Amino acid sequence: MQNCDLTVKIGKMIFKNPVIVSSGTFGFGEEFEDFFDLNQLGAIISKGISLSPMKGNPPPRIFETEGGIINSIGLQNPGFQEFIKNKLPYYKNLKTHLIINFFGNTQKEYIELARRFDSVSGISGLEMNISCPNIKKGGIVFGTDPQMAYRLVREVRKATKLTLIVKLSPNVTDIALMAKSAEDGGADAVSLVNTFRAMAVNIHTRKPELGNIIGGLSGPAIKPIALRMVWEVSQAVKIPIIGIGGIMNVEDAIEFILVGASAIQIGTANLVNPRTGIEVIQGINKYLVRNKIDSIQKFIGTFG
C-alpha cells in the first residue's frame, strides 16, 4: 500500500501522523502495548497530573449509557513527583511524542506544574486541562470564563517553552470565544472537547448511578456536538485545533479533519477496541490514497 505524507505540526512538535490517544483513556500506555506498536501513534497524552496525588471520587465511577459512558473518575492521579519517578521512565523508551495533561486547583498550581514539567527531559508538550473548579473563585471553572481562561493561559505561557495546548470544556455557551481567549493568552493549539456534564439515575434503587452523582459524558453520543464545536472554533482561531469527541473509527476522524482539525484524539474508543488508534492511522492513509491526496496538510479543513 502506497503511503501518504501524514505529518502534521502542532506548535514545535512534528507528529508522524495526526492520531493521538487522549488523556485518561489510555492508562499510562503500558496496558496497550500488547495490542499494537505504540511508536506508530502521532502522540500519547498522559492521564491528567496534579501537583499532589489525588484519590478521585467515590465508586461507582463509570456508567455505560446508550452511545457512551459517563465517568466520574475525578482526576485521580499519582501527583507530579510519583509520575516523574515511576511513570515517565516507561514513556521515555517510546519513539513517539509524549504530551503531559495537567491541571491545578489554583492559577499558582498551574504555573508551578508548567514550570516543573518545563525542566523535565522526554516531554514534547503540555496539554492544559482548564475544566477544573477554581477554589479561590468559589468553584467557577477556569474553562467557562473567557477572562479567567485568558489570564491563566497567559501566565502559564510565561512558565514554559514547551508546546502548550489548551484543552477546552464543551460546557459553555460559546466555545469559539473560549478558544480565542486561549489563543490570545499564547496557546500554541487548542484541543476540544472534554466531557459533557451528565448524570444517570437507577429507577429501582432510586439512587444515582455514580457515586459523585454527576460525571462527564463521552463516546459516540457526543460526536455531532463536538464536531460542531470544532467547526465553530476553526472559524475563530488561527492556531491548530485538535479534535476530540466520540471518534470511534476512521470515518469519524476524517469528519473532524475535514471541518478543520489538524489532529484528532481517540478517547472512549480505546476502552471498546484497544486497536482503534492504529486502525485510524491506517484508515486515514487508505482514504487519502483512494482520493489521490498525497499529503494530509492539503486535506485539513477542506470541508464546504
Ligand X SMILES: Cc1cc2nc3c(=O)[nH]c(=O)nc-3n(C[C@H](O)[C@H](O)[C@H](O)COP(=O)(O)O)c2cc1C
Active site positions, annotated: 132
Other beta carbons less than 10 A from residue 31's beta carbon: 11
- Interacting residue with ligand X among 163, 195, 212, 276 (CB under 6 A): 195
Residues 152-171 that bind ligand X (CB under 6 A): 167
For the window 211-230, what string marks contact with ligand X as x by the rule CB under 6 A? -------xx--x--------
- Interacting residue with ligand X among 50, 124, 129, 163 (CB under 6 A): 129
Least separation in angstroms between CB 77 and ligand X: 7
- Interacting residue with ligand X among 244, 250, 259, 264 (CB under 6 A): 244
The DSSP symbol for 73 reads: -
- Do the strands 19-21 and 43-45 form a parallel or antiparallel pair, or are they unpaired? parallel
Residues binding ligand X: what is the number (CB under 6 A)?
Answer: 25
- Interacting residue with ligand X among 6, 18, 23, 229 (CB under 6 A): 23
The three three-digit cell numbers of residue 214, written as one number:
454527576
Work out whether 87 is an interface residue with ligand X (CB under 6 A): no
Least separation in angstroms between CB 1 and ligand X: 27
The three three-digit cell numbers of residue 304, written as one number:
464546504
Other beta carbons less than 10 A from residue 22's beta carbon: 25
**Coil vs helix vs strand at 37:** coil
Give 181 or 268: the residue with its C-beta nearer to ligand X. Answer: 268
- Where does the chain have alpha helices with state H? 80-82, 88-92, 107-118, 146-159, 175-185, 223-236, 250-258, 269-272, 276-290
Give 73 or 199: the residue with its C-beta nearer to ligand X. Answer: 73
Find the part of the chain contacting ligand X (CB under 6 A) among 20-28, 117-125, 133-141, 282-290: 20-28
Least separation in angstroms between CB 176 and ligand X: 18
Residue type, 182: A
Give 4 or 42: the residue with its C-beta nearer to ligand X. Answer: 42
Least separation in angstroms between CB 79 and ligand X: 13
Residue type, 237: V
| Cβ-Cβ contacts under 8 Å for 134 (sequence gap 6 or more) | 105, 106, 107, 140, 141, 142, 148
Nearest to 61 by CA among 48, 77, 46, 76: 76
Residues 38-77 that bind ligand X (CB under 6 A): 47-48, 69, 71, 73, 75
Give 4 or 166: the residue with its C-beta nearer to ligand X. Answer: 166
Using CB positions, name the residue nearest to ligand X: 24
- Interacting residue with ligand X among 215, 246, 260, 277 (CB under 6 A): 246
The DSSP symbol for 121 reads: T
> How far is the C-alpha of 241 from the C-alpha of 43, rounded, in Å?
15
54-74 burial: b if 16+ Cβ within 10 Å, else e? beebeeebebeeeebbbbbbe
- Where does 238-301 have alpha helices with state H? 250-258, 269-272, 276-290
Give 245 or 260: the residue with its C-beta nearer to ligand X. Answer: 245
Find the part of the chain contacting ligand X (CB under 6 A) among 85-93, 144-152, 207-215, 242-250: 242-250
Least separation in angstroms between CB 75 and ligand X: 5
> How far is the C-alpha of 258 from the C-alpha of 301, rounded, in Å?
5
Residue ranges that bind ligand X, judged by CB under 6 A: 22-25, 47-48, 69, 71, 73, 75, 101, 129, 167, 194-195, 218-219, 222, 244-247, 267-269
